[in-house]
Structure 1
Amino acid sequence: MNKDVVITCAITGDDRKVKNNPKCPVTPEEIANSAIEAARAGAAIVHIHVRDPETGDFSPETKYYREVVKRIRESDVNPVINLTAGMGGYMCLNDDGIESGLGEGTDFVSQRTRMKHIIELYEEGVYAPEIATLDCGSLNFGNENRTYISPPGYLRQGLEIARDLGVRIELEMFDTGNLWHCLEMHREGLIKDPMMSQICTNIPWGMPMNMALQSSLISMLPQNSFWSMFAIGRMQMPMVAGAVLLGGNVRVGLEDNLYLSRGVYATNAELVEKARSIIENMGATVRGADYARERLAL
């Protein structure tokens, strides 16, 4: 069991479910305010996607990331800021493959383009994040012909870009082979210690939420790794307890779950508060951003 727990709050995701919860933040100001509230509630790390303020759809625009980071940094809290680097990976196919062209929703771009906002913020040198997240493998999404593509060559490019910038990488693992590949890249020296992993479960059709499976994966992580784990939907809070029992840290937030309880829409701060209550009732301590920075050698 982990006695010193770091909570990550994933503020808003990259799909359109935001429209199903009126409390989901959309504009840069709303996203920043929600992150600030989550930090006040106990989140040491805030994981950020941004959206087009007009449409609510996800956006890769650096200007929105810049505004969010600026607002958080100028607030009365100082969480570790973690920006996604995974936008631009969807491949949508028609039933005839690519004979009639790619399907609607395809946004597949290079790894450098996926990380364009990270690169630009580091080049500007003012509102650069401390962490960026890489999705560590390809995954079928849903029951249609939509796949997220993150091939080995792209991941190596992403790690090389991060190394050159000096940004810490969080490795999001959606299936067992993702860890296998990350261990190889760690052996190659592309991932610096302590290796930071986010084990993502219950996302169809990736890794099921199964404590025996997750326990076996955790046993393969390098010594002194910093790892967290989450599940989506109604299994978000049970996984908080599961992650702590297995010795890890936790992630909650509206990216992964819209509800506080059945039929009751949540805010990010409420989800953090609920997770904090679970953690503290288990006899563990919720640690802050300074602890996370020290643990991750930021």
Structure 2
Amino acid sequence: MSRKTIITCAVTGAVHTPSMSDYLPVTPEEIAEQSIAAAEAGAAVLHLHARDPKDGRPTPDAAVFDQFVPKIASATNAIINITTGGSTRMTLDERLSYPLLAKPELCSLNVGSMNFAFHKAAKGIKNWKHDWEKPFIEGTEDLIFRNTFVDMKSVLSRLGDAHGTRFEFECYDVGHLYNLAHLVDEGLVKGPLFLQCVLGILGGLSADAENLFLMRSTADRLFGRDGYEFSVLGAGRHQTGLATMGAVMGGHVRVGLEDSLYLGRGKLAQTCASQVTKIRGILEELSLEIATPNEARSILGTKGADKVGF
């Protein structure tokens, strides 16, 4: 079963802004609609952020999450994965406000602090829909995403130990794998580990094939080939190519409008489901089997959809 490929769909995120694409889901209704369609297209895991319905800015507001998460859960069997990353402008307590209420099967967890810059994206936008967008994007040149060891231990304790939530460990660099290995050595994290190799963010490893091999070989040394499951996220135009490489190497894949706004060269993706359909078609052409949500639960060792708080 572990050889089946899990498709994760990251629906909206906290990087892209409404001026970048008219198709980016920002309201609770849009996020729910795109999530449900992505699950129907084959995504076994839905990775979710919230947006302020008024202007599309990232928000940690539990009341906003609550407008779409239960709706998605009632309409699909997909694993609901709630971010603990939020955005660079949120405190740890803000980022945990909804996960602690929702007690989901799966949460993302960035395995370290880092420069997380996408300020160059502002150069290509001439018409801004909202006043907050340009300073939000340009300001990332002087911001750090914070997750110290104390922060990570807090998340692991308050969510993992207290509520049985498992984690998508987001690793943007080789050092993040060593951070995770330290947490494993301290007895704070137990397998099966689910690593998300995130390549292509300024401040982390670039989206080069060699870096994917480096992440894979380093994880093998630290955890043993049978000690973890890994998935691959290529930012922007690298989404399809790196995901395909990762799947061929025995990993899982992540797509979605959080990670790339495009379906192909110069063609905006109108839905997350279109990206799921595209990568699913490629994987099936490669004779790889797509994991159902329940198969993904078995692979990742989650507690089950009947033990969540929504």
With the length of structure 2 as denominator, give the TM-score of the two structures: 0.83
> What is aligned with 2:130?
none
Q: Number of paired residues?
A: 272
CA distance in 2, matches of 1:42, 1:64: 26
Aligned pairs for 1:1-298 (under 5 A) are 3-75=3-75, 77-87=76-86, 90=88, 107-109=89-91, 111-122=92-103, 129-142=104-117, 144-162=141-159, 163-209=161-207, 210-219=211-220, 220-222=222-224, 223-266=226-269, 267-298=271-302
**Higher mean C-alpha displacement, 77-86 vs 64-73:** 64-73
Residue of structure 2 in register with 1:102 after alignment: none
**What residue is the counterpart of 1:93 in the other structure?**
none
Q: CA deviation at 1:281?
A: 1.1
Equivalent position amino acid for 2:6 in 1: V
Residues 139 and 205 in structure 1, CA contact (< 8 A), matched pair in contact too? yes
Gaps of 5+ in 2: 120-140, 303-310
**For 1:12, what is the secondary structure of its paired residue?**
coil
- Give the superposed CA RMSD: 1.6
Aligned partner of 1:250: which letter? V
Distance 2:39 2:241 in 1: 21
Percent sequence identity is 34
CA distance in 2, matches of 1:34, 1:108: 25
C-alpha distance in 1, partners of 2:47/2:213?
27
Q: 1:96 maps to which residue?
A: none
Cα offset, 1:120, TM superposition: 2.1
CA separation of 1:61/1:293 partners in 2, compared to 1, >3 Å: closer, same or farther?
Answer: same
Cα deviations by residue, 1:186-236 (Å, 9 ceiling, x for unpaired): 122211211121111111120122333233233233434122111101110
Measured in 2, the distance between the counterparts of 1:135 and 1:284 equals 28
SS state of the match for residue 115, structure 2? strand
Q: 1:16 Cα shift?
A: 4.2
The alpha-carbon deviation at position 15 of structure 1 amounts to: 2.6
Task: Describe the superposition over 1:145-204 as per-residue Cα deviations: whole angstroms up to 9, x where unpaired.
Answer: 122111111111111112112211221111111110101111222112111211111111
Larger strand proportion, structure 1 or 2? 1
Q: Is the 8 A contact 2:177 2:219 kept in 1?
A: no
Secondary structure of the corresponding residue to residue 5 of structure 2: strand
CA contact (8 A) 1:52 1:59 kept: yes
Bigger proportion of residues as helix? 2
The CA distance in 1 between the partners of 2:31 and 2:112, in whole Å, is: 27
Q: How far does the alpha carbon of each residue in 1:93-150 deviate from its partner, in whole angstroms, 9 at most, with x for none? A: xxxxxxxxxxxxxx352x333211111234xxxxxx2111111111212362122111
Could you tell me how far 1:7 is from its partner in structure 2? 0.3
Q: 3-state DSSP class of the match of 1:213?
A: helix
